[in-house]
Chains A and B, each alone.
Chain A
Amino acid sequence: MSPTTIFSPESSAARMIFDLSLLVYVVCTVIFVVVSALLIYALVKYRKRRGDETREPAQIFGSKQIELAWTIIPIIIVLVLFLSSVRVIAATQDAKMPPGTIEVNVVGHQYWWEYRYPGLGVVTANELHIPTSDPAKPTPTLLHLYSADANHSYWVPRLAGKTDLIPNHPNQLWFDPEKPGLYLGQCAQYCGVQHAKMLLRVYVHSPDDFRRWIEEQKEPARQVDTVARGRELFERTNCMNCHTIAGTPATGRFGPDLTHLMSRETLAAGIVPNNRDNLRAWIKDPNSLKPGSLMPAIAFDDAELDAVTDYLMTLR
């Protein structure tokens, strides 16, 4: 089964859409079958037969009753579909969020996702971690969607429909998954050269696991002495201008927060596994993995590159 299918909803937001869609598919299929059948019947029954070259059939110019019927019936069908849609629109967009809601500020960048949990004091990037939501005591996640540059769109099909991230135009998106797991998606509004590589990874945890993850993320960066050389390089070259590592002088905001870089499973917005080789290749030249990425290649030599990589590998 595709991990991004719209037919396997895992949150009430997605389930409402799924239920509505079933009605729509059935209605459309019935209309298609009926009209096609009439069309095929007409084409077969009234086809020109051999020898019937010159006859002109009876010329019928119209019929008020028939035309009225095929105006009224579609209007009724339209009304039914309209009212069904309106219910879901209201239930989704105008839903009241319960007190246990986890609020996350999402900022779309070219070409990565910034996540800030204002109530919980956590900042991370590219991999969203949220708790499951028990219908008896709901703890849905509410995303506040912003953009730092162009338009993006947040689409994790199994959790919700998509909502855009537009500069100067904050939006909201919520979901309440009941089952833990990893849910995939990607940016769904053309945002530039690497639009295709802004992948979404949403990790849904049980409430306990989620609490543990939060505690880990709140810690400042680990200080490991053996990688002092790498840390020194990081702080002396341009890295600090774009990246934050909590508890160090690095407070740049242009690029992802790296405080707990190694707690992430992937790099560069989900496109490659997070391991030493990929990390090293990324630092050496981001364009080798993601041509058009806005991170420049820093001119490290091999020894410096290894040092910086070793340093980053300690940021669990």
Chain B
Amino acid sequence: MTTESLVLPAAAAPEKTWLERAHAWVTTVDHKRLGIMYIVFALVCLVVGGLEATIIRLQLMKAHANVVSPEVFNELFTMHGTTMIFFVAMPIMFGAANYLAPLMIGARDMAFPRLNAFTFWLTVFGAALLYYSLLGGYGLYGDAFAPNVGWFAYAPLTAKTFSRGHSNDYWTLALLVSGFGSVGTAINVIATIFSQRCRGMTLGRMPLAVWLFLVMCVLVLFTLTPLTAAQLMLLVDRYLGGHFFDAQAGGSAVLWMHFFWVFGHPEVYVLALPAYGFLSEIIQVFSRKAIFGYPAMVAASIVIAFISMSVWAHHMFSVGMTSYGNTFFVITTMAISVPTGIKIFNWLATIWGGKVDFKVPMLWAIAFLFQFLVAGLTGVMLACAPLDWHLTNSYFVVAHFHYVIVGALFMAVFGAFYFWYPKVVGRMLSEKLGRWHFWLFVIGFHLTFDFMHIPGFLGMPRRIYTYEPGRGWDVWNVIIGIGVLFQGVGTLILVFNLIRSAKKGKPAGNDPWDAWTLEWSTSSPPPEYNFATLPVVRSRRPLWDLKHPEDPDWKYE
């Protein structure tokens, strides 16, 4: 019984023209190619979203600045949020799940390869719809181009009365379309993980990353769909004369908020869970130790997903729910910090007693740990409803969620890039450029997002295109803007590294990091069929068993 994978030598094939190669990519159903396309697409949208953020911060560097008009500013923050969540963060996670899950479970592809391609292109089409608004948004009475109601599109701002043109319909339609894509991908990943595992890989022997992809996708099934439902209702209101959110007819603006946040809060856990998966894989390999408390990690992930569906109205503490309602959401929100804390402690315990190698993926993981800790603690502050009555809708919240999404999730994603790029491309990313990327980005991140908490404490609300001087907000906004520069340069270095190393990077071989999960048993990049013979496993770390036949994991599990 072996997990060694023989790669069958490719027959010499005639050179393809670039058109033929492009056609092959566009029509592919191979999970690896689709995974790469998801990630490249996400990186393009990251640059666009980053530009939007840069303009926003430029406008806010000075009180009463005139870099952009109020209308354009409002479109910018709407597009920035929508792009980053739906067309950067989600695609990266789905791309990672697409690429890694079949390899990690010893399968040849996803359960439904054609559905896989279809849902990818749905997502891309959704992004195209959203940005088409810049051309087509000016409807009959249109008062804006791109959507301008914020990424949560609160009713009744989205009613025909207040949003006269079609700009915000592009928001609705883009997310409706890409929402179907997301649910389709989730179905595919779940079916794959349940029905395509190689022999011996019970659910209890799957890598943690696979568990987290599974939990994430199950969560997607239950959380994307409320948004779909709410958006269908919004379309009924706008085009069929419906009254779901029409205050004049007895409709409720608060109901939209409930529906949106029933989606919106678990959505951030959809983004966070795969990041936890990356962390677990990276920390194990670079501490040279098995993850501490695998069963607890799995249980904590499931509990987090579960609880995350019960906390949504902590986004609505200022909306005027009863004291009982507020109290309920305080306790559920605080409760979620317990399994989350457990994860942090388990990672700490994995490092403890290990042998830490500070390669670039591990640097990102370490940054994640400190920053996720801070983000979680500011979350606890926000969970206290009375304190949230100040901090909600202020820059404190903006700082908090960017701390989570950029400081934790994105840094985990960057770590994942440096960790798995060698597998995907067959060459190592430059360690030197990686360190430049890391330090520039981390410094920029802290300049921007540490200091962003302060204007929140000093009364600065969010989504304002300018502010009054004399409220003490000015200097902090300058520092925030400077940090953006560092992050931008860091990101450009990453992109340069990604492109350059594809040709010039050191050849990686199958297993450059001396890791233990199945993707490292096949060649880099893997052949189209992934494994010449499907592996058979007996423990959570099949390659550890192979490399340490005197002390295999299955003796202890």
Q: Do chains A and B touch in the complex (CB under 8 A)?
A: yes
- The residues of A with any CB-CB pair to B shorter than 8 Å are 1-7, 16-17, 20-21, 24-25, 27-28, 31-32, 35-36, 38-39, 42-43, 46-48, 52, 55-63, 66-67, 70-71, 74-75, 78, 81-82, 84-86, 88-90, 92-94, 145, 149-151, 153, 155, 157, 160-164, 166-172, 184-196, 199, 291-292
Q: Which of B240-289 contact A (CB under 8 A)?
A: 247-248, 250-254, 287-289
Residues of A within 8 A of B460 (CB): 4
Residues of B within 8 A of A42 (CB): 348, 351-352, 356
Residue pair A78, B338 in contact (C-beta under 8 Å): yes
Q: Which of A1, A17, A36, A163 has a CB less than 8 Å from the CB of B370? A: A36
Among all A-B residue pairs, the 8 with the closest Cβ atoms: A161-B389, A4-B459, A2-B472, A196-B464, A171-B320, A167-B247, A168-B247, A188-B461
Q: Given A43-B366, A169-B252, 14 more contacts at CB 8 Å?
A: A3-B471, A25-B381, A46-B353, A60-B349, A67-B346, A70-B345, A150-B162, A151-B253, A161-B389, A167-B156, A168-B248, A184-B471, A192-B157, A291-B71
Q: Which of A59, A60, A161, A164 has a CB less than 8 Å from the CB of B386? A: A161
A86 and B250 contact, Cβ closer than 8 Å, known pairs A46-B356, A192-B157: no
B377 contacts partner chain A, Cβ-Cβ < 8 Å = yes
Residues of B within 8 A of A195 (CB): 74, 463-464
Q: Which of A6, A63, A184 has a CB less than 8 Å from the CB of B390? A: A6
Residues of B within 8 A of A167 (CB): 156, 247, 253
Residue pair A78, B334 in contact (C-beta under 8 Å): yes
Q: From residue A204, how far is it (CB to closest CB) to chain B in Å?
A: 17
A interface, over-half SS: mixed
Residue pair A168, B253 in contact (C-beta under 8 Å): yes
Q: From residue A268, how far is it (CB to closest CB) to chain B in Å?
A: 13
Residues of B within 8 A of A67 (CB): 293, 296, 342, 345-346
A196 and B377 contact, Cβ closer than 8 Å, known pairs A20-B387, A61-B556: no
Residue pair A28, B377 in contact (C-beta under 8 Å): yes
Residue pair A55, B355 in contact (C-beta under 8 Å): yes
Residue pair B471, A4 in contact (C-beta under 8 Å): yes
Residues of B within 8 A of A55 (CB): 355
Residues of B within 8 A of A184 (CB): 459, 471
Residues of A within 8 A of B148 (CB): 193
Residues of A within 8 A of B369 (CB): 39
Q: From residue A251, how far is it (CB to closest CB) to chain B in Å?
A: 22
Residue pair A4, B458 in contact (C-beta under 8 Å): yes
Q: Give Cα distance in the complex from A163 to B358, angstroms.
A: 48
Q: Which of B332-356 contact A (CB under 8 A)?
A: 334-335, 337-338, 341-342, 344-346, 348-349, 351-356
Q: Which of A17, A70, A90, A185 has a CB less than 8 Å from the CB of B387? A: A17
B444-476: CB near A (< 8 Å → 1, else 0) gives: 000000000000011111111111101111000
B384 contacts partner chain A, Cβ-Cβ < 8 Å = yes
Q: Give Cα distance in the complex from A47 to B486, angstroms.
A: 29
B310 contacts partner chain A, Cβ-Cβ < 8 Å = no
Count of chain B residues with Cβ under 8 Å from any Cβ of A?
98
Q: From residue B77, how far is it (CB to closest CB) to chain A in Å?
A: 9
B17 contacts partner chain A, Cβ-Cβ < 8 Å = no
A188 and B366 contact, Cβ closer than 8 Å, known pairs A20-B386, A151-B157, A162-B389: no
Residues of B within 8 A of A84 (CB): 384
A89 and B327 contact, Cβ closer than 8 Å, known pairs A168-B253, A193-B74: yes
Residue pair A60, B289 in contact (C-beta under 8 Å): yes
Could you list some 17 contacts between A and B, CB below 8 A?
A4-B458, A21-B381, A21-B387, A47-B358, A60-B289, A60-B290, A67-B293, A74-B337, A82-B331, A89-B326, A161-B386, A166-B319, A171-B319, A171-B320, A190-B154, A196-B70, A196-B467
Q: From residue A53, how far is it (CB to closest CB) to chain B in Å?
A: 10
Residue pair B288, A155 in contact (C-beta under 8 Å): no
Residue pair B352, A6 in contact (C-beta under 8 Å): no
B385 contacts partner chain A, Cβ-Cβ < 8 Å = yes
Residues of A within 8 A of B54 (CB): none
Residues of B within 8 A of A1 (CB): 472
**Closest partner residue, chain B, to A72 (CB atom):** B338
Residues of B within 8 A of A31 (CB): 377
Q: From residue B167, how far is it (CB to closest CB) to chain A in Å?
A: 12
